[in-house]
Amino acid sequence: MAKILMKGTEAIAEAAIRAGCRFFFGYPITPQNQIPEYMSRRMPQVGGTFLQAESELAAINMVYGAGGCGKRAMTSSSSPGISLKQEGISYIAGARVPAVIVNIVRAGPGLGTIQPSQQDYMQATRSTGHGGCRTVVLGPASVQEAAELTMEAFEIADAYRIPVIIIGDGMIGQMMEPVDFDAIKIRKREIPNKDWAADISTWGKRPRAVINSLYIDPKVCEASNLSWDEMFKTVSRKEVRHEEYMTDDMDHLIVAFGTTSRICRNAIAAAREQGIRAGMIRPITLSPFPFEAIKLAADRVKSVLCVEMNSGQMVEDVRLAVNGKLDVKFFGRTGGMIPSPAEILQAVKDAGGCR
Amino acid sequence: MAKILMKGTEAIAEAAIRAGCRFFFGYPITPQNQIPEYMSRRMPQVGGTFLQAESELAAINMVYGAGGCGKRAMTSSSSPGISLKQEGISYIAGARVPAVIVNIVRAGPGLGTIQPSQQDYMQATRSTGHGGCRTVVLGPASVQEAAELTMEAFEIADAYRIPVIIIGDGMIGQMMEPVDFDAIKIRKREIPNKDWAADISTWGKRPRAVINSLYIDPKVCEASNLSWDEMFKTVSRKEVRHEEYMTDDMDHLIVAFGTTSRICRNAIAAAREQGIRAGMIRPITLSPFPFEAIKLAADRVKSVLCVEMNSGQMVEDVRLAVNGKLDVKFFGRTGGMIPSPAEILQAVKDAGGCR
Amino acid sequence: MGRVTVNEEYCKGCGLCVYFCPKNILQLSKTRLNAKGYPPAEVIDMEQCTGCVFCARMCPDSALTVEK
Amino acid sequence: MGRVTVNEEYCKGCGLCVYFCPKNILQLSKTRLNAKGYPPAEVIDMEQCTGCVFCARMCPDSALTVEK
Amino acid sequence: MENRILFAGFGGQGVLSMGMLLAYAGMLEGKNVSWLPSYGPEMRGGTANCSVIISDTTVGSPLVMEPMALIAMNGPSLDKFEQTVVDGGLLIINSNIVDRKAQREDLRVHYVPANELALKAGNIKAANMVMLGAYLKNTRLVSIESVMGSFINVFGKDKERFIPMNREALKLGMESV
Amino acid sequence: MENRILFAGFGGQGVLSMGMLLAYAGMLEGKNVSWLPSYGPEMRGGTANCSVIISDTTVGSPLVMEPMALIAMNGPSLDKFEQTVVDGGLLIINSNIVDRKAQREDLRVHYVPANELALKAGNIKAANMVMLGAYLKNTRLVSIESVMGSFINVFGKDKERFIPMNREALKLGMESV
Amino acid sequence: MAIVYKKSTMLTDKPMLYCPGCPHGIAHRLIAESLEELELGGRVIGISPVGCSAFAFEYFACDMFSAAHGRALAVATGIKRAQPDAVVFTYQGDGDLAAIGTAETIHTANRGESITTIFINNAIYGMTGGQMAPTTLLGQKTTTTPYGRDAKRDGYPLHISELLAGCEGAAYIERVAICDVANVIKAKKAIKKAFEVQLAGKGFSLVEVLSTCGTNWGMNPLEAMQWLKDNMIPVYPLGVIKEV
Amino acid sequence: MAIVYKKSTMLTDKPMLYCPGCPHGIAHRLIAESLEELELGGRVIGISPVGCSAFAFEYFACDMFSAAHGRALAVATGIKRAQPDAVVFTYQGDGDLAAIGTAETIHTANRGESITTIFINNAIYGMTGGQMAPTTLLGQKTTTTPYGRDAKRDGYPLHISELLAGCEGAAYIERVAICDVANVIKAKKAIKKAFEVQLAGKGFSLVEVLSTCGTNWGMNPLEAMQWLKDNMIPVYPLGVIKEV
Ligand SMILES: Cc1ncc(C[n+]2csc(CCOP(=O)(O)OP(=O)(O)O)c2C)c(N)n1
Ligand SMILES: Cc1ncc(C[n+]2csc(CCOP(=O)(O)OP(=O)(O)O)c2C)c(N)n1
Ligand code: SF4
Ligand code: SF4
Ligand code: SF4
Ligand code: SF4
Ligand code: SF4
Ligand code: SF4
Ligand SMILES: [Mg+2]
Ligand SMILES: [Mg+2]
């Protein structure tokens, strides 16, 4: 198939369907409405289910239900709606149900604005609900990558029985870029047999399914948590991804993810025109985070700058990676404001002590 | 008044009333039910309002309503219920409404168990809802301190117009210890005039009140976020609190908060009996975090161990404080299991390379 | 008998007043757009206005003042 | 005519079977407690049992088996 | 000196209030005290226990994992906690309910027919007071007066009339060891 | 070479689809492209714009903050964006709606009576095509064929019958500058 | 000549950010006029929802709160409990009140809070671009029911006002429509009445206002009003649903 | 002699963690027996709520989900959509279904999901220690209404079954009581009927089971059943509320 011009949101929806997702439960919220809208058109065509839930809470719990039956299920929302899903995501994690959750982040706090933001980094990477489970968080930077990572998300979710969060912002959600689905080659993972699922077609051939996160005995609860931690260690070993951009000869490291990294590319181009050798590491998996790559890079640069569309959240991960070797500087815009290449260039100069 | 033997939950409730809280909106959940129950008995006696909401979502939004009228208002819950309040807390933060939220943490994820845990550290300190606002988080370690910090919480909330979270676990919630309310001396802060509040008694003497977090213009939204960050810098300067225990001559630093720190005291006693000079820094404000104190301490010890009732969350803050100077070791129990002094002692020895 | 004034800053040219005026004496401007790009409502024949306030009752933008 | 067996492991000594037996032939043990500390139900006079199943229908813990 | 005591039994045997009385009495005598109940759905399952600490110094962990004294009101509690008692610790068993003997030989063990003595005092529900009496006789940690002085605080004003009977039970417990 | 174009006007003037046509055409010609609309409640306020990038290399920021060309369909858009155009950039103004002249003197400015020409082509709604034509004549960034080849993709099969009229509008636009 | 009609003093000067011809503006006016006529001025606290009317806090000339989607009545409860003498109203759309906010709506009514709710039922999610609402009609096409609302998949048009009438705390519930002058006058009466019920402390009052959304229905404002008459009123009959 | 009554095969061997005499166990039995009689075995998927019956997933011998508090019907919807041939039931208390879960309850009914709900109304929050439920009676003392439920402060006993009857997708709603043998037999019939309605694909079915909570009411199991008869039934009358 040829390339088609698609919005990020539409590409995510189409990619989900191509990944075999047949159950989508959503609730409208800008700037991700094209996902449910696309699903409402397409799902009937592929024999799948689109259902507009009465709320984000209902939607995430419907995902829990369908996912617990062994089906590939998904929901999408944006910041306030994702806050409402926190309890449900925690239940999904606790019950080890695979699920994919898309967050096209807007600016906040509160109702804020629908303009682009990366303000939900901490929420996504640190605390998807109570319970302290770290989940997998993917941060695409282009529409093509949004499609690709969506397909990856379903593989990862099934392979490890973990909720996977795809995080983007209004820019990636609303912009159109060419997408070539045929070019997507996702790594096939070993997906364990779903004999834990409440699938009536396999009744009798498996133990009784109990999709559950309630443990009366803390010993059992701890064991379940430890097995989560163990699983997540494997995820951290096998699934970390990042992209390097002009890092070979760099003196100044920028760390940025998602659309912000696109603006940083422009800033890097401008920097290099001025003879400043800037380069970038772009975490693709925000969780697990590419600590190692950044640590290694930090050894050979003069400055590290983290650029985000928030007040400085990923900067903590970068600091944890750099571990005191260098000061990590931060530049960010918040509230839906988008940093300009010029601002970022200035920040690189300031961080690196260049004039 | 003499000392009285009280549960932590009851002490929090009574302290809130003494701090002038007259509006409590709650929803039952173990292990914090004594808070709403106490309030349901006491509020009518002091002319206050206790209302059992239809859900945690409703409760937090009622707090937003009453708080936005300039009243001291509070809600309490436990982990899953706190997840449900995430959106509401974000709105409260965005609209700069003072509020106090108690989280008597249970173990999870999901429904988990009601046994003690500190699993919501990240959620509380990093992402109270979408939007990335850091709020104030207080972690008492005794019933007396629970009372004291509750009274402080209302002061801080009003002084900075910020939601304040009191975080405890089932142990501190359920245990009884002597409380002496007369002994509580809270620092009085300058509390700005509440002329932002929707108080009908002051209509006409102030600008029209708009309690709001919606901004159509990202510039305004950014300005609001920046003013939050500015405010939080002040909070970080003025409100950080920690306690040091046997740190004068210590070789081995333990960092622990809440009830875990109590168990660490026993471990430290046992360590010292064996000639191991262990000491402890106990963050009282988990956010803002006592980075400076830990950084200074790290300069003069041989090992740093963070002990938590979770899989390792505060350890990130400790690592950020230590900033690469030493390896930060971690010991924790999860899922409602409580670490024993002996285990902690062993962890201190392992961390410090003692035999 | 009646007099209607249009506050053009508020008017969005929705046409509701035009349709609901029983005297049919309102129209949307065929020549002008306001600052927001809308053709504002205009009175064609003020003489006939009865001051019945139908127009103002239907105006979503409180753009009309009626005198009588 | 009927025979009732009590599974003492399940019985919690709630007394519902005792109360609802129309023949009044059940009682809670006055001498024994089961492993959980409850006095289990006992049949006093099996002869009179009609097998009406009232007892079992009221038992929350499915502790009773009735034969007829 | 930190005294760590564990009270355990069936729900309904007054295990929690027995511990609370002791803690209250400790507080009245100016000591540092804490009382921590088990809580949660396992209580519906029938067992309950509480950790009490009475100390001259600040109380560390409120959870008693290695009790210096175990008051076992029923068999499951003895089974569960006997091994956790510190070497040479105190073990008081309600011999009316528990039909086995202690397995450990290093402990100071007392078998108290608490239900019987409580009945003698006037109400089988006062078995907990009997056990507490036995404990106090052994340790003299707080005075009878302090315990009885805490009664209303723990049980409420409307239970005042039960004080004499409870005092009697406490006394019978003290005498039994 | 990265071409950054900003299309701006009232909602309903076809600003978004005009940009989308250009992006689509760029893609058909094998270029790297991106299209980013303004979105949100301000659209209800009446204005809309979109950023289009057509590039030989990978597209960096999809947001055009400093356009190389600004297509201004109405006055507020000209007011808002004129100053952001790069030095010596291109500015195309719909002179049927905008009643002022450009303020900057360094820009290449064209005044296109787009509504008029669109009416001439058959429908005032094709004013956007007229403007696009004017832009293409100036830059030759993509061919008319590519633009018209994108038409169905952007507007849908059922709008096919409007192709000739739109082609005519595009042509009139090209001729107008 | 005297002024017989001018913009209500209970509205601010701010131009409203609604589409041309959107009845939200009319409903705002009716509320403002009612408050003005009842001379409630400084006693009023309003709550705007999330929906097209999210910016209502900019339009009403009284103290206002902006509530999270669906939670307006919880916020209102907090306010009313804090200030029993305040006149408290919420303004909510069908998505806000009858979907995500269902629990808050029912329980506030059931508690009989003396709060007035103006419920704008336009059978669609306006703000987010025309998705199905709980009140969307069967067969109606929206951006999430592209083939028309199907009862099997999407459920039935929800009659939330009728459900609320089953709550003991609900004192007054009426359904009106903004589709012509006569009905607008009736709507105004109902809204004023609802505030009077609140003032009398009788309990919860709600006026359901059938409205249009020309933009998302794909019609001009007039066509939309006609569509409302032809299609919505038969499903959602007008009149007093409950009065105690 | 033949066995005329034994523990249902649709129940596991696990002893139930309810208080002595708690009707949750009886309701479990009735569900299990109905499923067994209808020979639904491997087709059944149940959802346990948060409440005293949170552990129901350990008791029913079919596939089970444990849902978050109030979300059982959303989970059930996800399951039913994923497996339309499955027989799906939720088991929920009054707090779960009629307080925090109100929105899910109403909308699932309104969508007419072919799901069966067994709704245990014991007029209290059992699990958490006896707080007020939406169904708590006026004047009833609970740990959060220590002076008795007061309509002014706490609202009225919520008749959620009656409200649900107003949802078009609800096919069958009946209220029964566990208070004596005759009523238990009726309850069993209603529960079985509810599953039959589901099997016929008619829509949403719900049986409200008036129950006791001796522990939190402060009564023994028998006294509690009498209290139910004397106090609850007058407020919550028994019988079929809706049947289509
Ligand atoms: C928690 C949350 N979910 C979803 C949204 C997105 N949202 C904004 S308005 C709206 C629906 C508006 O519809 P309605 O209430 O009918 O009001 P209308 O715009 O039609 O007047 C939604 C879903 C949000 N802001 N917050
Ligand atoms: C989100 C959330 N809120 C609150 C709770 C605490 N909680 C557990 S059970 C329950 C209420 C139980 O009452 P009900 O549904 O009537 O069931 P019952 O125990 O009476 O059978 C509550 C509030 C929880 N687990 N999760
Ligand atoms: S007042 Fe009546 S007659 Fe006059 S313009 Fe308005 S609607 Fe027409
Ligand atoms: S009704 Fe109002 S906004 Fe609409 S055209 Fe008339 S004056 Fe203008
Ligand atoms: S079967 Fe009937 S008669 Fe026999 S014990 Fe049971 S209730 Fe009594
Ligand atoms: S009804 Fe069942 S549990 Fe209760 S006493 Fe009888 S056999 Fe035992
Ligand atoms: S989208 Fe619909 S409801 Fe919203 S302002 Fe426009 S017409 Fe009104
Ligand atoms: S608390 Fe009440 S509802 Fe829960 S198991 Fe006990 S009696 Fe049953
Ligand atoms: Mg609507
Ligand atoms: Mg209940």
Interface size D-H, in CB pairs within 8 Å, comes to 77
Chain H residues near any Cβ of chain G (below 8 Å): 99-103, 106-107, 110-112, 134, 151-152, 154-159, 162-163, 166-169
CB of H171 closer than 8 Å to CB of H197: yes
H and E: helices and strands count for chain G: 10, 8
F74 touches chain C (CB under 8 A): yes
Point out the ligand 5 atom lying closest to the alpha carbon of residue D4: 5
H94-145: pLDDT as tens digits: 999 999 999 999 999 999 999 999 999 999 999 999 999 999 999 999 999 9
Look at residue F70 and give its three-state secondary structure: strand
Mean pLDDT across the stretch B183-194? 93
Q: Which domains does chain D have, with CATH numbers?
A: 3-67 (3.30.70.20)
- The dihedral sign for the CA sequence F75, F79, F80, F86: positive
Mean pLDDT across the stretch B165-188? 96
Look at residue G200 and give its three-state secondary structure: coil
Give the pLDDT score at D34: 86
Let me know if A246 is exposed, middle or buried by CB neighbors in 10 A (0-12, 13-18, 19+).
middle
Q: What is the pLDDT along chain F (177 residues), one digit of tens a residue?
A: 899 999 999 888 899 999 999 999 999 999 999 999 998 665 565 678 999 999 999 999 999 999 999 999 999 999 999 999 999 999 999 999 998 999 999 999 999 999 999 999 999 999 999 999 999 999 999 999 999 999 999 999 999 999 999 999 999 999 998
Q: Is the pLDDT of residue D19 over 70?
A: yes
Give the number of other Cβ atoms within 10 Å of residue H96's Cβ.
31
CB of G47 closer than 8 Å to CB of G115: no
Q: How confident is the model at residue E1 (pLDDT cuts 50, 70, 90)?
A: confident
Distance CA E32, CA B144 (A): 12
Task: Please indicate whether residue A121 or residue C1 has the higher confidence score (pLDDT).
Answer: A121
Provide the CATH number for the domain around residue F98.
Answer: 3.40.920.10
- Per the structure block, which two tokens stand in for D55? 């007892």
Let me know if F80 is exposed, middle or buried by CB neighbors in 10 A (0-12, 13-18, 19+).
middle
| A54/H107 Cβ within 8 A | yes
Residue type, F92: I
Point out the ligand 5 atom lying closest to the alpha carbon of residue D2: 4
Interface size B-F, in CB pairs within 8 Å, comes to 3
Give the pLDDT score at A1: 54
**CATH topology classification for B4-238:** Rossmann fold (3.40.50)
Give the pLDDT score at F42: 54
Residue E126 falls inside a structural domain:
no
E50-99: pLDDT as tens digits: 999 999 999 999 999 999 999 999 999 999 999 999 999 999 999 999 98
* DSSP strands (E only) in D3-63: 3-6, 26-28, 41-43
Name the closest residue on chain G to residue H164, using Cα atoms. G163
Residue E103 falls inside a structural domain:
yes
Q: What percent of chain B has pLDDT over 70?
A: 100
Distance CA G64, CA G57 (A): 5
Across chain E, mean pLDDT equals: 94
- The dihedral sign for the CA sequence A232, A235, A236, A240: negative
Q: Which residues of G touch F44 (CB under 8 A)?
A: 17-19, 52, 215
Give, as one character, the DSSP assignment of residue H69: T
Q: Is the pLDDT of residue D33 over 90?
A: no
**Pairing state of beta strands B163-169 and B99-107?**
parallel
B in contact with H (at least 3 C-beta pairs within 8 A): yes
**H214 C-beta closer than 6 A to ligand 8:** yes
Across chain B, mean pLDDT equals: 97
Closest-CA distance of chain F to residue B215, Å: 11
Distance CA A51, CA A59 (A): 8
Residue of minimum CA distance from atom 8 in ligand 4: C11
Mean pLDDT across the stretch D14-40? 93
Mean pLDDT across the stretch A113-135? 94
**C11 C-beta closer than 6 A to ligand 4:** yes
Between CA E93 and CA E103, with CA E99 as vertex, the angle to 5 degrees is 65
Give the pLDDT score at C37: 81
Look at residue G198 and give its three-state secondary structure: helix
- Per the structure block, which two tokens stand in for A195? 């004999």
- Residue D37 alpha carbon to ligand 5 centre in Å: 24
Name the closest residue on chain G to residue F44, using Cα atoms. G19
Residue F51 falls inside a structural domain:
yes
C32 touches chain F (CB under 8 A): no
Q: Is the pLDDT of residue E44 over 70?
A: no
- Per the structure block, which two tokens stand in for D42? 């006992």
List all chains that touch chain D, counting a touch as 3 or more CB pairs closer than 8 Å.
Answer: E, H
Q: How confident is the model at residue A26 (pLDDT cuts 50, 70, 90)?
A: very high
Give the residue extent of every domain in chain A.
4-238, 242-352
CB of B29 closer than 8 Å to CB of H128: yes
Can you name the residues that pair with F69 across neighbouring β-strands?
A: F5, F90
- Residue H120 alpha carbon to ligand 8 centre in Å: 11
CB of B93 closer than 8 Å to CB of B163: yes
**Pairing state of beta strands A252-255 and A278-283?**
parallel
The residues, ordered by sequence, that sit 6+ positions from E158 with a Cβ below 8 Å of its Cβ are none
Nearest of A345, A269, A248, A263 to residue A305 by alpha carbon: A345
Q: Which residues of H touch E46 (CB under 8 A)?
A: none
CB of B12 closer than 8 Å to CB of B147: yes
Distance CA A346, CA A228 (A): 43
Q: Which residues of B touch A107 (CB under 8 A)?
A: 131, 218, 221-222, 225
Distance CA A144, CA A112 (A): 28
- Residue H22 alpha carbon to ligand 10 centre in Å: 12
A171-201: pLDDT as tens digits: 999 999 999 999 999 998 999 999 999 999 9
Residue E176 falls inside a structural domain:
no
Give, as one character, the DSSP assignment of residue G145: B
Give the pLDDT score at D32: 87
- Residue G193 alpha carbon to ligand 3 centre in Å: 27
Which residues of chain H have a pLDDT value below 50? none
| D54/H11 Cβ within 8 A | no
Which member of G50, G70, G128 has the closest CB to residue A33?
G128
Nearest of G132, A92, A131, A156 to residue H75 by alpha carbon: A92
ipTM of the complex in this document: 0.98
G19 touches chain F (CB under 8 A): yes
How many CA atoms are closer than 13 Å to the CA of F90, on its beta-carbon side? 20
Phi, psi at residue A101, to the nearest 5°?
-125, 125
Distance CA A229, CA A221 (A): 12
| H185/D65 Cβ within 8 A | no
Which residues of chain G have a pLDDT value below 50? none
Distance CA D65, CA H3 (A): 7
CB of E54 closer than 8 Å to CB of E3: yes
Look at residue G168 and give its three-state secondary structure: coil
How many CA atoms are closer than 13 Å to the CA of E115, on its beta-carbon side? 10
E120-144: pLDDT as tens digits: 999 999 999 999 999 999 999 999 9
State the greatest distance between any 2 C-alpha atoms of chain G, in Å, as a whole number.
Answer: 59
Q: Output the CA–CA distances (angstroms, integers) from residue H125 to A140, A280, D65, H22, H235, in the order listed.
A: 45, 56, 32, 13, 18
Q: What percent of chain B has pLDDT over 90?
A: 97
Q: Which residues of C touch G23 (CB under 8 A)?
A: 60
* DSSP strands (E only) in H50-124: 63-66, 87-93, 116-121
Compute, in degrees rounded to 10, the torsion defined by CA atoms H187, H192, H197, H199. Answer: 160
Total structural domains in chain F?
1
Q: Is the pLDDT of residue B188 over 90?
A: no
Q: Which domains does chain G have, with CATH numbers?
A: 24-243 (3.40.50.970)
D32 touches chain H (CB under 8 A): no
Mean pLDDT across the stretch B179-192? 94
Residue F107 structural domain: 2-113+140-159
Residue E100 falls inside a structural domain:
yes
Asked if CATH classification 3.50.50.60 holds for the domain at A242-352, the reply, yes or no, is no
Give the pLDDT score at B2: 83
CB burial readout G36-68, b (16+ within 10 A) else e: eebebbbbbbbbbbbbbbbbbbbbbbbbbbbbb
Distance CA B322, CA B293 (A): 10
Between CA B82 and CA B94, with CA B88 as vertex, the angle to 5 degrees is 130
Can you name the residues that pair with C66 across neighbouring β-strands?
A: C4, G5
Compute, in degrees rounded to 10, the torsion defined by CA atoms G38, G41, G44, G45. Answer: 140
E111-122: pLDDT as tens digits: 999 999 999 999
**D41 C-beta closer than 6 A to ligand 6:** yes
| pTM summary value | 0.98
Can you name the residues that pair with G46 across neighbouring β-strands?
A: G64, G89
Residue of minimum CA distance from atom 4 in ligand 5: D49
- Per the structure block, which two tokens stand in for B26? 């709650």
Across chain A, mean pLDDT equals: 97
Q: Which residues of A touch B231 (CB under 8 A)?
A: none
The residues, ordered by sequence, that sit 6+ positions from F12 with a Cβ below 8 Å of its Cβ are none
